Each structure stands twice: as C-alpha cells, then as structure tokens.
Structure 1
Amino acid sequence: MTEAPARRLHWYEHIWVNANWFALTLRAQVLAGLVVPLLVQNYVGEAQKGSYYGTIRLWALMMAVLTQALFGLLSDHYPSRWGRRRPFVVIGTLAEVVVFALMAWVAGLSGMTGFYLLLVLYLLSMLASNYSQGGTQGLIPDVVPPDQRGTTSGVKMLLEIPLPLVLVGLVIAPMVSQGRIGLALAVTAAGMLVCMALTLLVHEESSLGTTTPIDWKPLLSLVWMTVVFTAIILGLGWVVKVVMAALGSTSRLVLSLIGVLAMVVAVIAGIFGSLAVHSDPTVRRSHPFIWWTISRLAALVAVNNIASFLLYFLQDKFTLPAQEAVSLAGLLPMVLGGFVVLFGLVAGWLSDRFDRRWMTALGAGIGALGVVVIVLGPSIAWMYVAAAIIGLAYALFNVASWALGTDIIPTERAGEFLGLQNLAGAGAGAIGAYIGGSIADHTGYVWMMVMFGVMFVLSALTVLWVKEARPAG
C-alpha cells in the first residue's frame, strides 16, 4: 500500500489543493441550476419541462458515472513530470471552455432542434468536467496527511459551495435573467481558468517512473456498472410511468409515494447492482465503501435536485414569472453558501474529533428539517430560512462524509475508488431528475421536494451501516 503523505501543508496550500472544486461547482450551478432548465423550458414548453429536463440530466449524469471513474483510474497511473493529477485539470478545463462557446450559440435556437443540440453539448460538457474532476479528487489523498484531511475537507467545502454560489447569485444569475446567456457562460469560463491556474501551484511530485501499469479490466467493469445503473433507473422510470397511467387521475400524495419508493429502490439497488458486476472482488466486498456510497447517493439525490429544480419549484409554489424566478434561484443558493462559510470550518473541526458516521447522519437529519421548511414555508422569506438550514446541513454532511470516505478507501487506489463514488454524485442527479421529473409534471414541484426530504432521512440511516469509522485525531 502506498504510504500516506508526510509533508504537512501550509494554510494557503489547502486553497490550492481545493481550488478546482470551486470551478466544478460554478459550472454545475450555472448549467444545471440556471442555463439548462431555462433553455429546456424555452424549447419544450411548460407542460413537459420536467420530463425533458429529467431526460437530459439522466444521460449527462450517466456519462459522468462512467467517465469520472475512468478518468480517476487513468489519473492514478498517469506518468508526468507535473504529477498525475494536474494535467487532467488543465485539459478538462480548456475543453469545457470550448464547449461553453458552442453552448452560447445554441442558446439562440428554438424548438426540438435546440433541445437536441443542447443535449449533445451538455454531454460534452460533462465529459470535459469529469476529466478535470478525475484528477481533482485524487489530490487530497495524494498530498494531504491523514491528520489534516478534516481541515482540508472543510476548506474544500468553503470553496466548493459558498464562494461559487456568491458569484452565481450576484453576477451570473442577473445575466441569465436578462437573457445574456453568452456573457454568463463567458464569466463562468473565466472563473474556471483562474481555478485551473491555482491548481497548478499544488506541490505534486513527478509521477515519471513511479506509476504502475494500468489494469484495463476495470474499464469493462465500469461499462457494465454504468449499463446496470442506467438500466435500473430507466426501468424504474418506466414502471413509474406505467403505474401513473394505470392509476389515471389519483391524488398527488399517492403519486409522490410511488416516486419515493422508486427512488429508494434506485438508490439501494443501483449501488449494490452496479458494484456487484465490478471485476475486482476487493470492490465487491468493501461493504463500508458500499454503504458510504449509498448514504452519499441518498443525500445527494436531495441536495443536487433541490438545486436543479429550484427554478421550476419557485415558479410553481409562488407563481413567479421566469425572469423573477431565475433571479431568486440565484440568490437562495447564496444564502446557503453564506451559512456554509459560517459552519464549514467548524464542520471540519467536528469531523476530526467525533465519529464521522454520526456527524454525517446529523448533517442529513438537519437537511430533512430544511426540506420541511421549504415545503411548509408560506412566503419567499421562509425560503431564505430553508436555504440557511440546508447550508448548515450540507456543510456538516459533506465535510464529515468526504473525510469518512478518505478513511475507508485504499490510498494507492484513491482516484479509482473516489471515481466509483461518482455513482453517488452523478447517479443522484439522474435518479432525482428522471424519476422525480416525470412525477412532478403531474404532482407539481412542491411534492417533489417532499420526496427529496425522505432521501435525507435514508442517508442518515444508511451511513450508520459503515462499520469501519474512526475519528482522525
């Protein structure tokens, strides 16, 4: 097993190691939270926007399930005088900047032609961003000593959530609400290039002559894992549509219960089914890793899709026009980010001193409380309260969960294992969007939020099945 890094980081190096997480969140929030749902609504209309948006998210995120793990594996074995992680950040970032330029042109189109071109470009964007993330996620295990990883994860949280959300809320969302999508994408690209430059400052040793040959067998496993996971989501989505058609006119509660059941099955069966076809028995027998991934998947189904469908939810709950909803959809994540700033470093301190399983479960429980406020809050002011609560929840959950993950994976295969957990990151968006989107077209988006609250509860329960957990300090 590769030895853990012994060199301790200076305070500013925590920023360099995590700089590209800022870029990855920035592009995700701009695309998934604002640009893509708005363009889909423009292309297909109000009545079917949930289903079409769910479809575009499904295929983009299933590509991420495959490519991020693939690129993580390639990064583990990449020989370079610049180290094995940073070249992936540079190439992925530059490629996505090119895609953004094409996307700005597509924004001026209409109808199904615009939708299908957007689908292609969104797939290419996910390919480029996951190439970058494949290298980024291996930096903490590679260069940060174990007793500093809680703090580094806290800094990761600050750069991953609050700061990009402030930029989106104050600068980019107003551009999108005014129809200046090309300018919004240009500002996003500029931010990503700055983060790429900061990542190049990371003290990463040359990997020339130190890497081992790649075992290409896992690639077949990755393909099968993606096929299995996608088949499970598509199958459950088909079952949901058949059941809804058979029931005809029924209550929103019944439809929501169907959606919750389908999501729970997709989360648990998706992870167990996908990892079961992996060729490496070490992965198949790694039960702590499996339950950790299920817990992350359940929580991220909630977090990712609350953000992705926030625009539609605000239009539904408060009957807002698109322009006003876009502005609010940019401001609410800013409040969330502010509370992540207030609690992010505290969350890192807590995760270094207490059982990371319980800290992760507590974060998910607080998230469920935030969803209660989202659903029952009678005014827009209450949405700001909900954003604050979910900000606290996400800070604690993600810091503790990520630190827990770095404890239970083999260090020498960190890129591969953390790439495999993209089943949680990418699969979350796919499950919530594809299954939840089709239901929301019939129930509305308030009931969709109820379903995401249940996912927080599932996350809190399943993380307690991770048996090999310990405080770092």
Structure 2
Amino acid sequence: MKMPKFPSLGISGYVKITILSLAFAALSQSLHGLILPLRVLDFVSEADKNTVLGAITFTGLVVAMLAQPVAGALSDSTASRWGRRKPYVLGGAIAVMVLLPGIGLANGIAYLFVVYCLMQLASNTAQGPYQGYLPELVAPNYRGRASSLKSLMEITGGALGIFLIGRLMSGHSLANEGGLWVALAALSTIIGIILLYLGRSLKDPPITGPLPHFKNPLLSYRFSLRESPGFGWFLASRLLFFMGAATIQQFALFYLRDVIGVENPAGATAAFLLVAVVSMGLAVFPAGYLSDRYGRGRLSMAAGLAGALGVLVMLVWPSVAAVYFAAAVTGYAIGTFGVTNWAMATDLVVRGQEARYLAIANMATAGGAALARLIGPVIDRFNAASPNLGYEVMLGTSVLYFVAGGLLVLMVKRPASR
C-alpha cells in the first residue's frame, strides 16, 4: 500500500491539533479531583460519599466511553464545507460551556448527575473528532513528539485547572459558594478563548479519497484485528493502567482527609495533583523522543511498574511525605505512559478511520476511569469494618492495575506499514 504524504507542520500547526486538550484537561482534572467531591459532600452523608461519588462519575464516564466512538465515526464519514472534524469540535465544546453553570445550580445529587452526564456527552462529541487530526496530519516518525505536545497541553491544562480551582474552592460549603461560581466561570473562559482561536485558525485537510459510510452507530465500536492485530492487547493495557491512575485521582481528597488527617483537604488535593502534573510535564518530551527512537512497548512497561512503585509507597508508609513522593513518581509514570501509549495508538489506527479508532482507544481511557469508580462502595464497606481499611484495599488494587497494564503492553506489535 502506498504511504500517504503528510504536510509539513510548523509549531503553530502542532499547537492547533493539540491545544483543545489543554481546555478539556483543565475541566476534567478540576471537576473530578475537586469540584465533584466537594459538591457530593454538599448533599450526602460521610458514610456514603465514596459510593455516591463513584456512582456518578462511573455513569458519566460510561457516557463518555460510548459517545466518543460514535462522534469519531460520524466525523470520519462527514463531508461538509467546514471539513470532517471542525463542526463536531466547535459544537461539542460550545455545549460544554452552556452546561457548566448547571454544576453550580444543582440543588441535589440527581441534578448534579444529569448535568455531569450531559457534559461528558458534549465534551466527547468534540474530543473524538479532534483526535483525528494527529494521525491525519503527522508523519509516523514524528508522532511520538506530537503526542508529547498533546500530553504537555493536557498537563498544562490540568495544572492550571487544579491551581485555580484548588485556590478558589478551598473554603467551599453550601453557605459559601462564591468560589464555586468563579471556578466555573474560569473554566468556561479557558474553553472559550481556545475555541475562538480554533474557530479562526483550524483548517481541515482536503479529503483525498472515499469516506467510510456511517450506517449503524453500534458499528462505531468495532475494530479489525486483521488490519490492526495488536489493537486488542493495546486496549487492555490502556484500560488497566488508567484504572490505576483514576483510582488514585478520584479518591485522593477523601484519602488525604480521612487517612492523613489534613486540615484543608481541597488545598492538599490540589497540591498533590500539582506535584503529579509537574512530574508528568518533566516526562513528556523525553518520552516522545525515546519512543520515536527506541519504540513504545518497553517504555510503556517501565511506566506501569513505576506507577505501581509510587502507590506501593503510599500503602506501606501513609504520611504526607509518602503522598508527595507517590505523586511525583506516579506523575512521571503517567506522563511517560500517556505519550508512548498514545503514539502507539496513532501507529495502530486504520487509515481513513483515524478519529473512530482513536476514540475506541479513549474508550479504554474512559472505561478504565469509569471502572475505577466502582471501588467506591468497596472503600466504604471496608472502612465500616475497620477504620481506613478501605483505603488500603484501594491502594493495593491500584498497584495491581499498574503492573498488569505495564506488562500487557509488551504483547502489542507495531504494524510495519505505519
């Protein structure tokens, strides 16, 4: 098969196809790590907080997991005057901005649940098609570095969101919601500025061949092991690794409050996440260069084992120092894995169906994040049997997730033709 020609992208070109990741990372990190846990505490009892938080975020992430491949498949098959990707990218992100105030207006768990699920639907309608730009425009031997920039955008957005929202919501309560509204306005502003930039500057590449037909939404979730033999192993590895990462992120605030006993859990969680994202930032460019030069598999395996080591230290030595050590080590592991594993995903996509295949790859990300939330009732049950035993179970499970995810990636073989 003849290899396609890729356009020469300058720095601005790479920024255009990755910068929306900054906005959505700022939203996701602050929403899952700070805003939702604090809003859940507004409405439920201490005994049920992990269960309720886990149930809400699990359902929302299932919505994300199911929505993104359909949006990607629609984008792959769309021929419009604005291109294949741009209508979905702009429409989905605008819908997120419209929905954001609903997080503050929620007067109970049911309202909060509905708004969160709709936001997941909207953001993944934008994200699925947007991801198609990278394999569509970047030559294979530069995709590791392009994935580094994507990860750097995610890390920068996550750090920005955590820093701002951590400070704004440090004193949040039902009687003091001013910080919440400023936080939601800040997130909407970040998304809006980036949308204005993309609306003016982002251009879809010309369509050079026949487009796949979109007939049955259920076919959006299908992938071909004949055309991409390693894709199944890749998905399993990604699912497990991000189950480990999401478990730590989602329940960090409650762990810091209940086990470590910090006085300001929102501020401590923000500091924990900031240490992690700085460490992730230090990892991304070395990971991109090394993955292009030496391959994706071994680097991803090392990241999985490093993530397990960081969580293991928290398990055997519950202390503030251990928490920050774990944040640094797991952050570096997540940064490395995120770059090398995403570069691997761009190698495995089937040509002409880039957005759909990368959306399926992110089904593993969202699926891992969703399944991680199911440990919420387990934490509450074991905590009821013995104080803080549930958090020990949580950390031990995360260690296993990281190890399994790192080892399974060795089963993936890169297609020679891509």
TM-score (norm 1): 0.81
Tell me how far 1:203 sits from its aligned partner: 4.3
Distance across 1 between alignment mates of 2:51 and 2:231: 32
Query: Which whole-Å deviations, capped at 9, do the CAs of 1:75-97 have from their partners, x for residues lacking one?
Result: 11222333222222211111011
Distance across 2 between alignment mates of 1:351 and 1:39: 40
1:167 equivalent to 2:153? Answer no
Write the letter of the residue equivalent to 1:398: G
For 1:236, the equivalent position in structure 2 comes to: none
1:326 equivalent to 2:266? Answer yes
Distance across 2 between alignment mates of 1:102 and 1:378: 37
Pick closer, same or farther for the CA change 1:412–1:2 going to 2, 3 Å: farther
Tell me how far 1:320 sits from its aligned partner: 3.2
Distance across 1 between alignment mates of 2:84 and 2:230: 27
1:304 equivalent to 2:246? Answer yes
- The partner residue of 2:136 within 114, 126, 142 is 142
For 1:438, the equivalent position in structure 2 comes to: 377
Q: Which moved more, 1:290-299 or 1:142-151?
A: 142-151
Tell me how far 1:152 sits from its aligned partner: 0.5
Distance across 2 between alignment mates of 1:167 and 1:471: 39
Write the letter of the residue equivalent to 1:152: A
Q: Secondary structure at the residue paired with 1:47?
A: helix
Tell me how far 1:40 sits from its aligned partner: 1.5
Write the letter of the residue equivalent to 1:306: I
Tell me how far 1:339 sits from its aligned partner: 1.7
Pick closer, same or farther for the CA change 1:471–1:411 going to 2, 3 Å: closer
1:157 equivalent to 2:185? Answer no
- The partner residue of 1:396 within 336, 347, 351 is 336
Write the letter of the residue equivalent to 1:155: L
Distance across 2 between alignment mates of 1:358 and 1:202: 35
Alignment of 1:64-79 (within 5 A): 64-79=64-79
Contact 2:54 2:376 in 1 (8 A): yes
Distance across 2 between alignment mates of 1:430 and 1:415: 21
Alignment of 1:394-473 (within 5 A): 394-434=334-374, 436-443=375-382, 444-468=390-414
Pick closer, same or farther for the CA change 1:215–1:204 going to 2, 3 Å: closer
Distance across 1 between alignment mates of 2:286 and 2:313: 24
- The partner residue of 1:385 within 317, 325, 345 is 325
Distance across 2 between alignment mates of 1:300 and 1:26: 18
Write the letter of the residue equivalent to 1:356: R
Distance across 2 between alignment mates of 1:198 and 1:351: 30
For 1:294, the equivalent position in structure 2 comes to: 236
Distance across 1 between alignment mates of 2:79 and 2:219: 23
Distance across 2 between alignment mates of 1:470 and 1:42: 54
- The partner residue of 1:365 within 305, 308, 316 is 305
Distance across 1 between alignment mates of 2:295 and 2:317: 33
For 1:256, the equivalent position in structure 2 comes to: none
For 1:234, the equivalent position in structure 2 comes to: none
Tell me how far 1:458 sits from its aligned partner: 0.5
Tell me how far 1:213 sits from its aligned partner: 5.4
Q: Secondary structure at the residue paired with 2:214?
A: coil
Q: Secondary structure at the residue paired with 1:421?
A: helix
For 2:183, the equivalent position in structure 1 comes to: 184
For 1:45, the equivalent position in structure 2 comes to: 45
Distance across 2 between alignment mates of 1:287 and 1:145: 21
Q: Secondary structure at the residue paired with 2:149?
A: helix
The number of residues matched between the two structures is: 404
Q: Secondary structure at the residue paired with 2:35?
A: helix
Q: Secondary structure at the residue paired with 1:82?
A: coil
Write the letter of the residue equivalent to 2:401: M
For 2:218, the equivalent position in structure 1 comes to: 220
Contact 1:355 1:471 in 2 (8 A): no
Alignment of 1:240-259 (within 5 A): none
Write the letter of the residue equivalent to 1:316: D
Query: Which whole-Å deviations, capped at 9, do the CAs of 1:344-391 have from their partners, x for residues lacking one?
Result: 111100010112111111111111111112223342133222111112
Tell me how far 1:169 sits from its aligned partner: 3.4
Pick closer, same or farther for the CA change 1:40–1:382 going to 2, 3 Å: same
Contact 2:228 2:415 in 1 (8 A): no
Distance across 2 between alignment mates of 1:449 and 1:40: 22
Tell me how far 1:154 sits from its aligned partner: 0.6
Tell me how far 1:428 sits from its aligned partner: 0.9
Pick closer, same or farther for the CA change 1:60–1:69 going to 2, 3 Å: same
Contact 2:304 2:407 in 1 (8 A): no
Tell me how far 1:461 sits from its aligned partner: 1.4
Tell me how far 1:3 sits from its aligned partner: 5.2
Contact 1:300 1:429 in 2 (8 A): yes
Write the letter of the residue equivalent to 1:168: G
For 2:57, the equivalent position in structure 1 comes to: 57
Pick closer, same or farther for the CA change 1:463–1:469 going to 2, 3 Å: farther
Pick closer, same or farther for the CA change 1:414–1:471 going to 2, 3 Å: closer
Tell me how far 1:148 sits from its aligned partner: 1.4
Q: Secondary structure at the residue paired with 1:120?
A: helix
Where does the alignment leave 5 or more consecutive residues of structure 1 unmatched? 226-277
- The partner residue of 2:125 within 131, 148, 151 is 131
Distance across 2 between alignment mates of 1:415 and 1:213: 12
Write the letter of the residue equivalent to 1:144: V
Contact 1:88 1:131 in 2 (8 A): yes
Distance across 2 between alignment mates of 1:288 and 1:213: 22
Q: Secondary structure at the residue paired with 1:459?
A: helix
Tell me how far 1:120 sits from its aligned partner: 0.5
Write the letter of the residue equivalent to 1:167: L
Q: Which moved more, 1:373-382 or 1:440-449?
A: 373-382
1:353 equivalent to 2:293? Answer yes
Contact 1:347 1:400 in 2 (8 A): yes
Query: Which whole-Å deviations, capped at 9, do the CAs of 1:179-217 have from their partners, x for residues lacking one?
Result: 22111111011111222233342342245x966252313
Pick closer, same or farther for the CA change 1:4–1:452 going to 2, 3 Å: farther
Distance across 2 between alignment mates of 1:467 and 1:176: 45
Contact 2:29 2:161 in 1 (8 A): yes
Distance across 1 between alignment mates of 2:283 and 2:292: 14
